[in-house]
Amino acid sequence: MKPTDIVDKQILRTDIPKVGPGDEVKVHVRVVESGKERVQIFQGNVISVYGSGVAESYTVRKLSYGVGVERTFPIHSPSVAKLEVIKRGDVRRAKLNYLRERTGRSAKVRELREDQ
């Protein structure tokens, strides 16, 4: 056990669901503007998950008015109020960087069916 593990256990969050590449998620982000705090929703597909422990992060990509927007969120960050998984993606790769060149129907990810 490393000496930093004691501090890391205090920071780890247990209310966050397991996310993987291809999942469609809603990330509720706390935004502070002029002293006021509000929650802003960022909805898109997870294109990569990397790191481990406290340093684990995921990248979410969405199309906003025809322009691709990507944001990286640490999983255990206090700025993320809530994380909702809308759909589970059925993908064969860990990093979905090929989605950056695609738009429309070709950028869709198959949904993982749980009933089988």
User: The CATH number of the domain where 50 resides is what?
Assistant: 2.30.30.790
What is the domain count for the chain?
Answer: 1
Q: What pTM did the predictor assign?
A: 0.86
Is residue 86 assigned to a domain?
yes
CB 70 within 8 A of CB 60: yes
- For residues 75 and 114, the answer to whether their CB atoms sit within 8 Å is no
When pLDDT is cut at 50, 70 and 90, the band that residue 38 belongs to is very high
Find the domain containing 52 and state its range: 5-90
User: Which tens digits make up the pLDDT trace of 89-115?
Assistant: 999 999 999 999 988 888 888 998 877
pLDDT at 62: 92
